[in-house]
Amino acid sequence: MAAKKQVPLRLSEKLYNEIAAWAEDDFRSVNGQIEYLLSECVRQRKKDGKYVGEEIDVPPKFDLK
């Protein structure tokens, strides 16, 4: 297995809490959830040349401020 790069990441508290809740639902750590989501985005982009959804620019339903 290749060594993993460490990347500092700053998230708003609300976004972190949303990801943490999602990670808990999926039985992953927050770090694992972020890595999973990023991997899925890259895989989808390689598959059809597009980003993960047609509605990627639609604002999320939760407030990240």
pLDDT tens-place string over residues 11-64: 999 999 999 999 999 999 999 999 999 998 888 877 776 655 666 556 667 665
Residue entry with tokens 């700053």: 10
Global pTM reads 0.68
Residue 60 counted as domain residue: no
Residue 2 counted as domain residue: no
Q: So what's the pLDDT on residue 15?
A: 94
Residue 42 counted as domain residue: yes
CB-CB neighbours of 41 under 10 Å:
14
Number of domain units in the chain: 1
Q: For residue 43, what are the domain limits?
A: 13-48
Residue 5 counted as domain residue: no
d(C-alpha 12, C-alpha 9), whole Å: 10
Q: So what's the pLDDT on residue 24?
A: 95
Residue 57 counted as domain residue: no
Q: So what's the pLDDT on residue 47?
A: 75
CB 34 within 8 A of CB 9: yes
Residue 20 counted as domain residue: yes
